Structure 1
Amino acid sequence: MPPRSSSPSRTATPPRPARRRSYDQYCAAARALDAVGDRWTLLIVRELLAGPRRYTDLHADLPGVSTDVLASRLKDMERDGLAVRHRLPAPVSAYVYELTPRGHELLPVLTALAEWGVPELTAPRPTDAVRAHWFALPLRRSLERAGWHGIVEVRLDEGEFHLRVGEAAGEPVYGEGAPPPGTAAARLELDAGTCLEIGLGKLSVDDGVREGRIRLKRFTA
């Protein structure tokens, strides 16, 4: 009896990516947490609200995250349509991560979370890292409620940043350092404690200026 012919070779099916942990609940909140509930994910979103960031920049502004975890979270965010990785044109020629429109929709989530967490910021713990731009979201929300609009430069003892108050429409919400020349509507100089009081709604900018706790300069268009 002739030997049975071997079956035709087939292209191997690539393995499916491992399924992420899920709450397996048909609930919008549970589905959202399936995507962004892992540790570090929302803090990566916080950093990417400043615009495109290189991996090394993200790692520097997320003290405590391991390189493996950061890489894993970024891959998860790419897969879930929250972020994209692309190469900047020459002469920079660096790869950066950037939020997608879907990822940018997390801005109100981060804003509400930051506003809720401001009362927890009492005296800094000895192990706490500090970055000036981490004050941006609660300050931005308070300035919006006070009717501010435009780009505001903020100078703290911890550093300098600028933020966009009002409609962001996918634009960077804040950035480190001073804004591009001629773009700021105002500049605030204050300390971190005063900045937190504004974020808590305990102090208005006008009152802070009157009390000598804030130096305010407005720029005419």
Structure 2
Amino acid sequence: MKDNKKKRKKKKKMTFYKGLLIAFCSGLVVIGVLLCMLYGALARYEEKVQAEKIPEEITIPSLALGGDAASPEAEVPSVSEDTVSEDAAAVSGNDLPAEEDEEPSFPITDDEKMLVQKTAEDFTKAYAVFSLKKNASGSTALSFVDHDSDLYGRLASYSNDWGVTYSSDSFDELEISDIKKIAESPAEYSCVVDCTYSVNGGAYSYDLDFEYKLKASESGDKIMIEDMQNR
């Protein structure tokens, strides 16, 4: 009888401890779920606050790199979202397109056109993010630029401390046109780039309009950006 009582007491005690353990584990799971929900809510709130901080008309610092890169506090003209292209392209060192005689044009193959188009498109996507976003790395953009060009030096020494990056940023209507071969030996090319850079899911968009000069490698299998200017 005594043994049976001891067994029953022991069994009740084990059942009690098992219940406590299950309740404790359930509590941890509930706390974990609540923490995840809280983290998600805070992340959404922070993104909403950042979006509300972007004014309808923003001030873009000049990207001209003749001297030190402009800071966000520098006195610069205020531009609307549709006129950012002039400041974004000023890194080329040309505030306005220079008046030049019409460049000569040589026969160009379809393969050359495809290579020029791919290079211009990839560089534009890398350059726009680098020039318009806070502390964005320029290494990707520089990988498409001729190392011996003045443009490479200007891009390599440039940095900014302004702009906001969102996961929903995108490029819309990116078009490469007017592809020409302007020299044969070594081969050189020119093209025009038009694109719209949408920020925060299209809340703001910037029209970028560039003209590139490109140079082929000695082997001809690679084309690099040699110079750029805004149009």
Same topology, TM > 0.5: no
**Which fold has the larger relative contact order, with Cα–Cα distance below 8 Å and residues 6 or more apart in sequence?**
2
Structure of larger gyration radius: 2
- TM-score w.r.t. the length of structure 1 is 0.19
More strand by share: 2
